[in-house]
Amino acid sequence: MATTPGGNREPLAFHRYGRRPYKPVFEAMKAFTDARDETTPDQCWLLEHEPVFTQGQAGRAEHVLAPGDIPVVQVDRGGQVTYHGPGQLMVYPLIDLARRRLGVREFVTLLESLTVATLARWGIEAAPRRDAPGVYVEGRKVASLGLRVRRGRAYHGLAINVDMDLAPFQRINPCGYAGMPVTRLSDLTSEPVTLDGVAEVVEQELCYRLSEKC
C-alpha cells in the first residue's frame, strides 16, 4: 500500500510471480488493463521470464539478427527489440496514470529514477539517456524500459539485468542500436545481489515515488 506524506492511502498491490513464460503474462497484463475501471487498485508485478525476444510496435526486422531457438514475440509497447530471460527482474507497474495525475513522460522519468536509486543501494552510479530510453552505467545498458498506455492506464514496464546470461543480446541490436553494450548488476558490485533483494528495493522506491502522486 502506497501512502502519501499526509497520510492518505492509494492502493498499490505487489505480486511476485517467480519465473513465467512471456506470452501468458503479456496477455494477463492486457486483460487486467482492459477490465479495470476507475476504482480498480493499481498493481505491480515482479517476476522473471523464460528466454524470449520481444519486438515493440516500432520494431524493425533487421534488428533481430539471429534469434536461433529463442522465440520472438510481437508486443504492443513502444520501442524496438530486447531480450528477457532468467536472472533479469521484470517490473510491470499496472498504474492508472490519469487517476494519479501523472503524464506519460513524467511516469517514464519516475521509473528511470527509481531504477537509478535501486542501483545506488549497491553502490552503482547509473543514469538515464534522453536519446535511448533506459538506464546506463558508463555507457552500458543495465535496464530497459517500454510502456503502453491505454485509456490513461499503463502496462509493460522495466527490465533490470540482475544476474543473467547476457549472450542473447548479441543476437539482436538491443533497442534498435547496433553494438549496444549491456551489463548486469552482478558485474557492477562486489556485494551479494539477488532478484528478491532487488525486487524488495524496487517495491520501496516505487511506493515512495507514487505516494507523492496519490
In the annotated binding site for substrate, the residues are: 77-84, 144-146, 157-159
Q: Report yes or no: 147 and 189 within 8 Å, Cβ to Cβ.
A: no
**What is the residue type of 92?**
Y
Are 47 and 94 in contact by the 8 Å Cβ rule? The answer is no
Four-CA torsion 24, 21, 78, 154, nearest 10 degrees? 50
User: What does DSSP say about strands 72-74 and 52-55: parallel, antiparallel, or unpaired?
Assistant: parallel
Q: Is 91 helix (H, G, I), strand (E, B) or coil?
A: strand
Are 64 and 172 within 8 A, CB to CB? yes
Annotated binding-site positions: 77-84, 144-146, 157-159
Is 124 strand, coil or helix? Answer: coil
Q: Which of 44, 175, 207, 214 is the catalytic position?
A: 175
212 three-state secondary structure: coil
Say whether 207 is catalytic: no
Residues with catalytic annotation? Answer: 175
